[in-house]
Amino acid sequence: MTLLPASPAGRWGISTVFLDRDGTLNAKAPEGEYITRPSDFEFLPGARRGVRALTDAGLRVIVISNQRGIALGRMTEADLDAIHSRMLTGLRAAGAELEAVYHCPHEVDVCDCRKPRTGMLKRARQELGGIDFGRSVVIGDSPSDMQAGRALGCRLVMITEESTEVVDRVEPSLSRAASWLIGAG
């Protein structure tokens, strides 16, 4: 599969996709709880297919995720590494790849990386190179995802049934968002 020139990604010259994790790739834990071990991690329907479609279209896919559970002592960095290992294994089994995974382990308002701040996106650009935020899209399910992307001039796709956020597109799932973005659906 290739990126169609007439697709939104083709028209906008998109080269990089930043994905939120919880609520975009996998089922979110109930409010106030966290995904703290690999067995808690469950892909949302079609999420692996969506990531594969993005990578097959030649787009760089990077996960950016707030992980406050570390700051609260609900899990450790090693726990998060094990969760991400499960995530990466599941994606690879579906033929999908991520270029990188970034997370913020901090409490609210103590850092520049926790979304809606932009530190994770800027760190990805610094470490990976070749990222132009004007040619990037943020796909996520929360206003903080959209605010981080908006602050850097990224295109915005919100995963929800309806949104009051000003975004480029609202889709109910990552697979639908990916299909729309690359012009496959």
Distance CA 99, CA 83 (A): 17
Contacts of 69 (CB under 8 A, 6+ apart): 34, 35, 36, 75
Distance CA 14, CA 61 (A): 11
Closest CA to 142 of 88, 54, 65, 70: 65
Distance CA 69, CA 80 (A): 9
**Residue 132 annotated to the active site:** no
Are the CB atoms for 113 and 123 separated by under 8 Å? yes
Catalytic residue among 20, 79, 141, 145: 20
Catalytic residue among 22, 79, 141, 145: 22
**Residue 20 annotated to the active site:** yes
Are the CB atoms for 121 and 64 separated by under 8 Å? yes
Q: Is 135 exposed, middle or buried (0-12, 13-18, 19+ CB in 10 A)?
A: middle
Which residues are known to be catalytic? Answer: 20, 22
